[in-house]
Structure formats: C-alpha cells, structure tokens
Structure 1
Amino acid sequence: MSSLTVYHQSSPEAPNKLLNQAEDIASTLAAVGVQFTQLPVAVPVQAGSAVEEVIAACRGQLDQLMSEQGFASFDVLSQRTEPRYQHGPRTSLPTAQRYGVAHLHYCLAGRGLLCLHIDDYVYALLCEKNDLVLLPAATLHWFDTGEQPRVTLLRLFDSAQLPLAEPADDALVASIAGLDDCLTAATPY
C-alpha cells in the first residue's frame, strides 16, 4: 500500500503526518504542486526485468502517457537483488537531485521511496505498483531502492532528449528514514 510520510526539516526523526489513503496522499502533494494518481499497469512486468522486456510490455501505456501528457523521452529503472542472509549497515545513500524539466515516475512493479524536499518539508512517498507521480521542473528529490532493490519504474521527461540530473547536496538524505527503515518499522507501511 502506498503511503506518504511528511517531515519538517527541523525534525527529520519525527514525522508530522503519515497518510495511507490515495485521496489524502494526492491532496497533500497537490498542495505543493506535485500530482499523485494511480493507473493500473496494463501488462504486468516483474521487478528486475530487462529494459527491452519492460518497454515491449508497456509500449501501449507508454505511448499513451507520452502523447496525453506531452512527454518526449523516457528511461527505465529495473532492479532486483536476491535477499541476503545477513543485513549489515547501509553502505550507500541515494543522491539528491533535480531535473530542469518536469518528469513523471510510474511504478510498474515492486516499490521504492521517492523523497521530495520542498520548502521546509520532506515528503517521503512509498511508491508501489500503479503509482504515478508528476514532479514539476527543479523539484529536489531522491529515490531510495533500499539495500535489496526490487522495483521497475518508468520515468518520462518533458524534453526531447533525456535530461541530466543536477546533483544536489542535501543533508536531509541521511536524516530521513530510508526504504528499508520504513519496511521494518512498526508503522503502517
């Protein structure tokens, strides 16, 4: 189930709000210019599928989204690792970034944690299959796939060529609970 946790940047250890109803998530994100909706994946794909397989399976929906929304380029993130027997400390953190163009995240399989740093708040959205998130240009964000990634994600961009992400230094990346923390915490994730 998708969920949204909202943190004030002055207290990233204590969430201000935890939402798990799609309507509540959509209205909270809309207030900061981000669109959230859900669109059933027409042809199921597996997390970690080859990029070519993902594109072939979703070609119809991909073309429809691109024409309806005016997107001109896309890429695919498809990762899956097998569970490990021992969990050690996290060895790397996601990188905060922004794009100069609007872009859409469409979760096709698995899950990931999309964090948005907007004004004084961080919006940590647990994205699952069927979630669409439209980010305005220049939105500071990071996407956490966890220590054992299991996700397939389409990203559609409002530019003819795939844009380069502008890395950003955001100290909050290390302060906000990551995907693995969310999944093991006693919260309703």
Structure 2
Amino acid sequence: MTLLTTWPESGPETVVRRTSDPAAIAAALAPLGVRYERWPVREDVPADADADAVFAAYGPEIDKLTAAEGFRTVDVVALHPSDDPQWPRTARAAREKFLAEHTHDDDDEVRFFVAGAGVFYLHVRGEVHAVYCEKGDLLGVPRGTTHWFDMGTSPSFTAIRFFHEEDGWIGTFTGSDIAGRFPDFDAIHSGHAGSAA
C-alpha cells in the first residue's frame, strides 16, 4: 500500500500527515513540485522481468512521458534477493549509495515502480515527507530537491528510470545525518513508522 508520512524536520515524534489515498498523496506533493501518479499495473510482468519485457509491457506509458517531458535516457534497474553469497554485500552497497541526503543539480529523479517497493524521503520546507512507493507508483522529484532513498536491508524492486541528461544519476551530497534520524524503509514497511529507526 502506497503511503505518505510527513514529519517536522526536527524529528519523527510528531506525525503531521499520514495517508494512503493516492489523490491525497498527489495533492500533498504537488505544491512541492513533486509529481505522483498511478499507472495501470501489468500483472503479467513478473517481478524479475528483464528490461525488454518491462519496456514491452509499459511502452505506451514510457513513450507518452518521454515525449511530454523530453527525457533522453530511459532504463530499467532491478535488485532482488539472490542465493549468490555476495548478495548481502551487494544489497548493502546498493542501499548505502542512496541513503544519505542529496540533491541532483542537473536532472529530476523520476522513477516508476514495476515491482517491489522503496521509500523516497523529501526534505522540503521544514518537513520530511516519506513516500512509500510500490508497484504502479510513479514519483518525480524535481532537480534541486533535498532527498534520500531507502530500499531496505533486503532490497526487492524493479523500476523504470527517466533521465533528461545522458550522464544518468549524479548526486550532490549535503553531508547531513538527517536520514538516520527518521524511520527507515524497514520500519515503514512493517508499519512501525511512529519512532525513529
């Protein structure tokens, strides 16, 4: 279930907003310049589908968004639990890359979740907005927006990424420790987002 939780930037002791209603989520994020929408879910696309299958399934939506927004690069990123002995190290490294607060100076961060889930944390106007995204959710974080992303201790998701710049994901890190002061993916996923991680 998609979920938006908002706290004051001072900490998660007080919940300002919590909603799972897609229309309410979109309405709350729009004034921040954040795009949130639901796309039809293709149930016949397995969680571990390769990029070709994902592009084939979501081609009309990808083409429409790319044409409307002028994206130059679209790719598919997937991370799912594996029996590979290196999986714990791979998962930890992938998670840590995005977990610190950062911005993107030259591009928006636009993701559509084909499978699985992840949480985008938006640090805007004195508040932290945690958007728990799942299959069918598209989120667009405007360039310059301070944020971080948590995929959890055992990541499992497939997402389509859209880029205006061919260089792809380039983050400018703020050096803040704020991400460690708010409930992480695992706490939100398990429904225990009322206290810090």
Q: Which category of TM-score, normalised to the shorter sequence, fits these structures?
A: 0.7 to 0.9
Q: 1:153 to 1:44 in 2, by over 3 A?
A: farther
Deviation at 1:12, TM superposition (A): 2.6
Q: 1:22 aligned to 2:28?
A: no
Equivalent residues, number: 182
Q: Is the 8 A contact 2:11 2:182 kept in 1?
A: no
Aligned-residue CA RMSD (Å):
2.6
43-52 or 15-24, which moves further after superposition?
43-52
Q: 1:20 to 1:77 in 2, by over 3 A?
A: same
Deviations 1:130-150 (A, max 9, x none): 111121111122221111111
- In the alignment, which residue of structure 2 is the partner of 1:88? none
* Amino acid in structure 1 at the alignment position of 2:121: C
Q: 1:160 to 1:132 in 2, by over 3 A?
A: same
Q: 1:111 aligned to 2:117?
A: yes
Q: 1:144 aligned to 2:153?
A: no
Q: Is the 8 A contact 1:95 1:167 kept in 2?
A: yes
- In the alignment, which residue of structure 2 is the partner of 1:86? none
When normalised by structure 2's length, the TM-score is 0.80
Q: Is the 8 A contact 1:116 1:141 kept in 2?
A: yes
- In the alignment, which residue of structure 2 is the partner of 1:74? 74
Q: Is the 8 A contact 2:115 2:158 kept in 1?
A: yes
Deviation at 1:47, TM superposition (A): 3.2
173-182 or 56-65, which moves further after superposition?
56-65
Which 5+ residue runs of structure 1 have no aligned equivalent? Answer: 84-90
SS in structure 1 of the partner of residue 67 of structure 2: helix
SS in structure 2 of the partner of residue 54 of structure 1: helix
- In the alignment, which residue of structure 2 is the partner of 1:181? 187
- In the alignment, which residue of structure 1 is the partner of 2:159? 153
Q: 1:95 to 1:34 in 2, by over 3 A?
A: same
Q: Percent identity between the aligned chains?
A: 27
* Amino acid in structure 2 at the alignment position of 1:68: A
Q: Is the 8 A contact 2:6 2:128 kept in 1?
A: yes
Which 5+ residue runs of structure 2 have no aligned equivalent? Answer: 84-91
Pick one of 117, 130, 133 that aligns with 2:136. Answer: 130
Deviation at 1:11, TM superposition (A): 2.3
Deviation at 1:24, TM superposition (A): 0.9
Q: For 1:75 and 1:102, how far apart are their aligned partners in 2?
A: 15
Deviation at 1:164, TM superposition (A): 1.8
Deviations 1:59-98 (A, max 9, x none): 4432332112221113322111169xxxxxxx77523222
Q: Is the 8 A contact 1:96 1:140 kept in 2?
A: yes
Q: Is the 8 A contact 2:7 2:128 kept in 1?
A: yes
SS in structure 2 of the partner of residue 31 of structure 1: helix
Q: For 1:16 and 1:185, how far apart are their aligned partners in 2?
A: 16
* Amino acid in structure 2 at the alignment position of 1:95: A
Q: 1:98 aligned to 2:85?
A: no
Q: Is the 8 A contact 1:44 1:108 kept in 2?
A: no
When normalised by structure 1's length, the TM-score is 0.83
Deviation at 1:43, TM superposition (A): 6.8
Q: 1:176 to 1:45 in 2, by over 3 A?
A: farther
Larger relative helix fraction: 2
